[in-house]
Amino acid sequence: MAHNNNMNTKALALLGLGHMMVDLNTGALPALLPFLKTTLNLSYTMIGTVVLVASLSSSLIQPIFGHLSDRSARPWLLPFGVFAATCGMAAIGLAASYQTVLMLVCISGIGIASYHPEAYKTAYLATGEKKATGISLFSVGGNIGYGLGPLAVALCLTMFGQIGLLLLLLPGLLASGLLLWSLPWLSRTMSAQPTAAPVATEETSSYAFLVVLGIVSLGACVHGGLVTYVPLYFSARGENPLVVGSLLSLLLIAGAIGTLIAGPLSDRIGHKKFLIFSMGVMCPLIALFLQTSGFTSMLVLTIIGMCISPIFSVTLVIAQTLMRGRLGVTAGLMTGVGIGVGGLGVAVMGRIADLWGVESTMQLISIVPLLPWALVFLLPTTATRADTSLRGLRTATVEGK
């Protein structure tokens, strides 16, 4: 089938659009929390519980949807995921109690969890030979959505108050309707199963997959820590909310641009080499960021965003290549467990910030990238050789060399 050799850009664009809408709801929640705290008179513990419910429902159950996806193609999960994620978040516009908010956040989380494994599996099958390029194109939709979420919520609340959240239904229902209408030809993309046999043994694959899962989990701790604590760090230094918000947007937009660049680059130089470079520069860059101010700090933050965000799409390609018969479960584990562990890391950093201040947390975040960087060197050559054989590249580009 043509899908095995040529990239199906139409399918990737549609899946990326759905990814954008799903992750817009992920990005919307943090911006919504201060508003909910005031209107429903919530304590910090109650706010923490809302975040926990969101994390558990959207992350940890993803491998279950991945398992269902691997047993048989379930393309209906694509429109359903966008629909549930959007309806849950938008309906908070009508919520009058804390319990209702928890229930709606859970519904939105289930939508987010159901979309990712099926979409990543379909995207992988639509990429052709240039796996990292294709997955990056799909992933950048999520990056953009995550960045737009806080802005969308701010506009809805400013213009119409809590009821304004219902406006989120418009783009969400359009995207889920488009996915529903496109299911017949998307299903044909799913039937284009990869035929190349894995080069790595099952034992090597399992070991390499655990290493990749470790890299993405620790990488998610760094990314989540930056997204959460860079705004708090600048707020503590007395910067106004507009500057703080602009810095967060800059970090997220730079991540989207970096993800687009990383795909073709890592397909060319090798996934392992790319990870060694991108993780290797993180510690000095974050340390430099903490020592600079003004335009220089914004420039350094842009480079940090461009280096940290692409790690997820590149590691996902390696993982899906290793576990080729279980694409759905692999995507579910990578997005679910990886990002779930990242969320726990952010919570631990919060405790450190309470005890020793947000500057200590930022110092810690500048050291953490050493851990995933060290793990990259543990990736076996057989794992990256399997990856190269699938892409049909010359042996000169094998990542292990």
pLDDT digits 0-9 by tens, 44-103: 667 767 877 887 788 777 777 777 767 766 788 899 999 999 999 999 999 999 999 999
- HSE-up of 253 (CA within 13 Å, CB side)? 12
pTM: 0.71
* Share of residues in the chain with pLDDT > 90 (%): 25
Torsion of CA 147, 321, 58, 142, to 10 degrees: 20
Return the DSSP state at 393: -
Classified as helix, coil or strand, 254 is: helix
User: How far is residue 365 from each of residues 16, 179, 211, 217, 312, measured CA to CA in Å?
Assistant: 30, 39, 21, 14, 18
pLDDT band at 381 (very low <50, low <70, confident <90, very high): low
pLDDT at 395: 29
pLDDT at 385: 44
pLDDT band at 340 (very low <50, low <70, confident <90, very high): confident
CA angle 399, 380, 333 (to 5 degrees): 100
pLDDT at 177: 93
pLDDT-wise least confident of 120-134, 180-194, 270-284: 180-194
pLDDT digits 0-9 by tens, 94-151: 999 999 999 999 999 999 988 888 887 888 777 777 676 777 778 888 888 887 887 8
Secondary structure of 255-314 as H, E, C letters: HHHHHHHHHHHHHHHCHHHHHHHHHHCHHHHHHHHHHCCHHHHHHHHHHHHHHHCCHHHH
170, with CB counted inside 10 A (0-12, 13-18, 19+), is exposed
pLDDT digits 0-9 by tens, 314-328: 888 888 778 766 777
The full set of domains in the chain, from first to last, is 1-195 (1.20.1250.20), 198-401 (1.20.1250.20)
Residue 347 has pLDDT above 60, yes or no: yes
Looking at per-residue confidence, does 193 or 332 come out higher? 332
What is the average per-residue pLDDT within 275-281? 91
CB 156 within 8 A of CB 32: no
